Structure 1
Amino acid sequence: MTSPGRARWAIGSLLAGGIVVNFFDRTVLSVASTPLAEEFGLSLGELGVVLAAFSWSYCLVQLPSGLLVDRIGVKWLNRIAVPLWAMASLLTAVASGLGLIVLARVLLGVAEGPSMVGASKATAAWFPTVERSRATALFDGATKLANVLAFPTLAWVISSWGWRAGFLFTTALSLLFAVVWWRGYRDPDEHPRLHGPERAYIRGGGARDAPHGTPGPLRGVLGSRRIWAMSLGFACYGYTINVVLTWMPVFFQRQFGAALGQAGLYAMVPWLVATAAELVVGGWLVDRMVRGGRDAVAGRRPVLLGGLALGATIGCAGWATSPLGAVLWMSLSLGGLAVAAPVAWSLPGLLAPPGAVGVVGGLMNFANTAATTGGVVLTGWLAEITGSFGAPFVFAVVVLAIGGLLYWPALRTDRAPASRTAEIRKALD
């Protein structure tokens, strides 16, 4: 069946654009970390604490963000949050001391807390099940595309005008997106270009959860072993990919003596591979499998576990003898993790109780960022005492193995009857 209308894909593109801007804001400190550390005299361990300041606040607001997304909806939450992204970047750009930089990163974590949870919620409301992986890959793939764009762009800006200019650049991007979001995003029940045939296609295809309303039962979410298993599994994924995200520019500079601009180019390649892998395999291929009759949940398990297994090649990157070798291993690892990502992010829209897509996504991202916060600091500490990034990257392999063991039972077939997928396909046909 040819789907009617394209309003939902315009919304998907808007969500993806917001995530790109969101990750520019997050990444700029990683790119600016070396000149910033030199100005303030920071060790690797101290730099790890500064880099983790964003993660601390971002982690703590995940569950409240999920509750707020379920209560007031994505539209208004981002209308409030996006201008705060800009304020946080501006405060960093004008900071005269390390304390204000840490404070600004904490503010950025609070403001960006609803971003991924809100995108997951909006995707569940706007897209039928047979398009859910592509839609999820669109916004989550934007996190990888942002790094393809952010590392070389910010490296050039910072190399040319200093690290403060990088934060002024992200301030301008955030303000621009605030205007675009205010004008462009509407919930499905109020969107002026969502016409009857497309609305029926979305609803008949398994789109779920009104964009806002009465939240689902929090006790049921917190009492579900299955939801906890997939949340902790997602934490293992997030630990590894965020260690790479945060430390990749420093890794190339410290391990191989690369200049800042050169490190930005090295870092761009793995994220480009990850973007392509997520859109093609984690998005298009998974949707094709579901259209072909595979169960919407159980059919995702081999893709997710295979992605985590390929992600374990990050252990080889720390022992690479050349920057090109490290780029190769990082590309394989991030490609695998990128395949797993849209599968993981689509699970709240498939498995959450009614009215609780946001809170399940918030719990997942809470576990993710809690692991990330510890991982960023632990990586800096291990790299400092061992003199290389080999040990922290090998430890990330162990974390990924634990994640696979958690996801295996969480996506077992007996909890995901194939009749559900068959009913959805019948409605679409």
Structure 2
Amino acid sequence: MTASDPRLCAWVVTALLVVLMMINFADKSVLGLAADPIRKDLGLSASAFGLASSAFFLLFSICGAAVGLLADRIRPKWLLLAMALLWSVSQAPLALGGGLAVLIASRVLLGAAEGPAFPVAQQTTLSWFPNHRRNLPGALIVLGITLGVLVAAPVLTWVIHHHGWRSAVAVVAVAGVVWALLWIPFGGEGRYGTDSPALAQGAETATGPAARRTPYRRILATRTWIGATIAYFGTYWVIAFALVWLPSYLQDGLGYSSTTSAQLLMLVWGMSGIVVLGQAGLTGWLLRRGTASRWARGGAGGILMLIGAAACLALPWAPAGAVTVVLFVTGVALSGAMGSVAATTVVELAPADRRGGSLGIMNAVVTTAGLIAPTLIGHLVDAHGAGGYRYAIMITGALLLLGGSAAVTLIDPDRDARLLPA
């Protein structure tokens, strides 16, 4: 692979970043997959386990914003390499032993290292593609989340059952090191990034050559950035819920066996991946036909979220059986597309030299959902038993309703990009 073969470079980098997100979410999913063994081994209540899960997000958001800003000044290639190595190192003490204190410390450091991964990965892969070609690579980065869980669920479950949950932690740590060794020779940024010669000549920016050095505060004050952030917050709430509590919800809240629960988890994440790719294909088709991003991105993503919200709000009142499964899968799967929509929308809106910071700050706000959701749901379960999951699903439906409404009514990058230089 050489610089004279930019299309091959673009897809090799994208493939590596998809794998990075797979490892990223395999790291996150370990606690959810091993919830019962960890709680039994360490003697944790639901609230304590929820607190340990939320500890992952203690520095996640802050570091996401800080490194996002650095990504506008330091090559994202080296930032991603440092993150991958750090999150592997952070899991070593937990793999070797320790109790609740080591669990929390390991998850805090892991969260600090992984917090910037998604926005920097999106910034890097999208730097290889022009605006009208960004939907598929952006969606593939989001698909890495789904693939990470789909691969991690059977593999890590087998490791947990046969070798213990600490061995599962060791497996994902080693995977991060292997990825870093591949990233060194093959990783890098494309010509549509902030350091592109074409950009320096004003050939390809989101808002035109006059929009250099736009203050971050102006970008963050746009209706598009606000709408994308609110919508993505709802999506991330679902992700945090799914990673930490979904296996327990299926077994304790809906009464499914562990085997059926595993099958439903695979179905949910598989459908989520199909939705992400389908949304990317629809959005790309609409953009190529001249449809404004307001509808091609905000409208498509927002409508999917609104359907998911309706499914979640109906779920607590549905009779057990096929209806419950349909509503459950619909509610969780349809909410996932907004991660790709939010990232490509902000990259379209922000000037090239402000994309890393704009994505990083959005990710910092959004991922506070990961800090709140596991702890809140743990308290609801401790207070109401299995009935606590009903309240959790209703809260989730309300957040998806808010996010879908924000996406449909606020996102309009064409309008806001024109206003930024004024």
TM-score (norm 1): 0.86
Structure 1 residue aligned with 2:246: 248
* Helix, strand or coil at the partner of 2:286: helix
Q: CA shift at 1:7, angstroms?
A: 2.3
Q: Distance in 2 between matches of 1:42 and 1:268?
A: 27
Q: CA shift at 1:345, angstroms?
A: 1.7
Structure 2 residue aligned with 1:341: 339
Q: Distance in 2 between matches of 1:156 and 1:304?
A: 35
Residue deviations 1:106-142 (CA, integer Å, cap 9, x gap): 0101111221011121133111112111110010111
The one-letter code of the counterpart of 2:341 is V
The one-letter code of the counterpart of 1:139 is I
Residue deviations 1:325-374 (CA, integer Å, cap 9, x gap): 55433321233112333111211211113411111111211121112211
Q: Distance in 1 between matches of 2:372 and 2:236?
A: 11
Structure 1 residue aligned with 2:49: 47
Q: Distance in 2 between matches of 1:95 and 1:261?
A: 29
Q: CA shift at 1:390, angstroms?
A: 1.2
Note closer, same or farther for the CA distance 1:205–1:310 as it changes in structure 2 (3 Å cut): farther
Structure 2 residue aligned with 1:149: 151
Note closer, same or farther for the CA distance 1:32–1:207 as it changes in structure 2 (3 Å cut): farther
Q: CA shift at 1:206, angstroms?
A: 4.7
Structure 1 residue aligned with 2:307: 310
Residue deviations 1:390-414 (CA, integer Å, cap 9, x gap): 1110111111122123223322487
Q: CA shift at 1:178, angstroms?
A: 1.2
Q: Distance in 1 between matches of 2:95 and 2:213?
A: 38
Structure 2 residue aligned with 1:114: 116
Task: Say whether 1:361 aligns with 2:375.
Answer: no
Note closer, same or farther for the CA distance 1:184–1:216 as it changes in structure 2 (3 Å cut): farther
What is the aligned-residue identity percentage? 26
Q: CA shift at 1:89, angstroms?
A: 2.1
Matches within 5 A, 1:272-311: 272-279=270-277, 281-311=278-308
Q: Distance in 2 between matches of 1:49 and 1:361?
A: 27
Structure 1 residue aligned with 2:397: 397
Q: Distance in 2 between matches of 1:42 and 1:155?
A: 20
Task: Say whether 1:370 aligns with 2:368.
Answer: yes
Q: CA shift at 1:268, angstroms?
A: 1.2
The one-letter code of the counterpart of 1:67 is L
* Helix, strand or coil at the partner of 2:152: helix
* Helix, strand or coil at the partner of 2:156: helix
Structure 1 residue aligned with 2:269: 271
**Count of aligned positions:** 404
Q: Is the 8 A contact 1:232 1:364 kept in 2?
A: no
TM-score (norm 2): 0.87
Residue deviations 1:199-238 (CA, integer Å, cap 9, x gap): 98xx9995769xxxx9763333344454233323321222
Task: Say whether 1:332 aligns with 2:334.
Answer: no
Q: Distance in 2 between matches of 1:123 and 1:295?
A: 23
Comparing 296-305 and 397-406, the one that deviates more: 296-305
Comparing 229-238 and 285-294, the one that deviates more: 229-238
Q: Distance in 1 between matches of 2:241 and 2:31?
A: 14
